[in-house]
Amino acid sequence: MKDFIKTTALAALFAGAATAALAIELRLSVETPPGHVRNLAAERWAEAIEEASGGDITVEVFPAAQLYKSADAIRALASGALDMSIQANVTMSQFEPNLSFSTLPVFFGRSAEEADKILSSEIGEELGAMLAKKGINVPGPAFLFAPSHSAFTVDKPINSYADMAGLKLATPPSPVLVTLMKSMGAAPQAARRSEIPLMLSQGQLDGLAAVTELTITGGKLWEPGIKHIYADNSGWGFYMPVVSQRSMDKLTDAQQAIIRDTWAEVVVWAGDHAHQELMEARSVLADNGVTVVDADPADVAAQREAMMAVQDQIIEDSGVDPDFIARVSAALDGNM
């Protein structure tokens, strides 16, 4: 009897050890602050993965660049040092230039419907295939975040593109965006997201460029001084789920399916949430003293046409595939 009890106890011990050995812990890094739609989506994804896997896979979410700043996170994903993230296409464009397509002149002033049409077309699938070649797995569709606008300023209200001349505007780290802002007469400044509030409050910047209303509301950037927005849908931002291919390769087929299936549920919520936040943003901005000038559609159209003259050069300089952009253009025009 004693031998039976001893044997049973040892078996239970080994079974427990085997279960522990099979448990998988993944790390998900985002650089946005808690409460941002990207963070909320990451938390929902982590919870869904743990529930769907019966606790075999746990995902710890690290917000506010606790683990990696944006560009570093992408390199960490490619190398396998980081397991998961949700990344903005503009940031990812440093790693895969074609991801900057939604900031090119051809996208200038486009509507949400037009942007969504592209993401849900074959173009979206192509983007995943591009990243797969670089060691990054895209386990599902992107979600549309918000339109970026050309100018968010502290002191000077912008009423036309001519008013942007010479302004020092913090610009996301995309070569395409930097080139476009220069072509519009602004002076784009390299600045990390975490540095911008202090730079604004100290007068080192006149404002921001190529970000969204949700960037302002999410970071409460009226506190360090943002007072004016020139809204012109200068491009569109979207977020992609990304997983290190090395991390995916460590999972069974069933576990990989859990990663994909849970994101398929989360992405619907994330897209709806981002849209709702965008609808509410104007009132939040008004309540905090931020004025919004909607650009004249005729001015936007004229600006897009003027920038189209330099699009081929931008594509060449930034390493974007011209054939890919031709397919994007065809999809926008309904010819794909």
Name, in order, each residue with C-beta under 8 angstroms of 332's C-beta and a sequence gap of 6 or more.
106, 107, 110, 114, 117, 118
CA atoms of 288 and 194, how far apart (whole Å): 21
> What type of residue is 313?
Q
pLDDT digits (tens, 9 = 90+) for 150-170: 999 999 999 999 999 999 999
Contact 77, 244 (CB under 8 A): yes
Secondary structure (3-state) at 84: strand
* The pLDDT of residue 3: 54
CA distances for 29 relative to 38, 63, 65, 222, 225, angstroms:
10, 6, 7, 27, 29
CA atoms of 267 and 45, how far apart (whole Å): 9
> Cβ–Cβ contacts within 10 Å for residue 268, how many?
12
CA atoms of 125 and 274, how far apart (whole Å): 22
**What's the CATH fold of domain 2-332?**
D-Maltodextrin-Binding Protein; domain 2 (3.40.190)
* The pLDDT of residue 336: 54
* The pLDDT of residue 268: 97
> Cβ–Cβ contacts within 10 Å for residue 224, how many?
16
* Mean pLDDT of the region 113-138: 93
Contact 173, 199 (CB under 8 A): no
Name, in order, each residue with C-beta under 8 angstroms of 182's C-beta and a sequence gap of 6 or more.
188
* Mean pLDDT of the region 133-147: 95
* The pLDDT of residue 177: 84
CA dihedral (255, 271, 108, 210) positive or negative: negative
* The pLDDT of residue 9: 44
pLDDT digits (tens, 9 = 90+) for 265-289: 999 999 999 999 999 999 999 999 9
Q: Where are the alpha helices (DSSP H) in 57-171?
A: 70-79, 89-92, 112-119, 122-132
Long-range contacts of the stretch 161-165 (C-beta < 8 A, 24+): 161/185, 161/299, 161/303, 163/230, 164/230
User: Which of 242, 248, 239 has its CA nearest to residue 267?
Assistant: 239
pLDDT band at 83 (very low <50, low <70, confident <90, very high): very high
CA atoms of 195 and 174, how far apart (whole Å): 17
* The pLDDT of residue 78: 96
pLDDT digits (tens, 9 = 90+) for 26-68: 999 999 888 889 999 999 999 999 999 999 999 999 999 999 9
Q: Which residue has the tokens 């998961």?
A: 84
DSSP 147-190: EEBSEEESS---SSGGGGTT-EEEE-S-HHHHHHHHHTT-EEEE
CA atoms of 41 and 71, how far apart (whole Å): 20
> Cβ–Cβ contacts within 10 Å for residue 236, how many?
25
Backbone angles phi, psi at 99, to 5 degrees: -70, -5
For the chain, helix (H) and strand (E) counts, in that order, are: 13, 12
Q: Is the pLDDT of residue 15 over 60?
A: no
Instruction: Extract the tokens encoding 312.
Output: 């081929």
pLDDT digits (tens, 9 = 90+) for 216-233: 998 899 999 999 999 999
Run of H or E including 46: helix 37-52
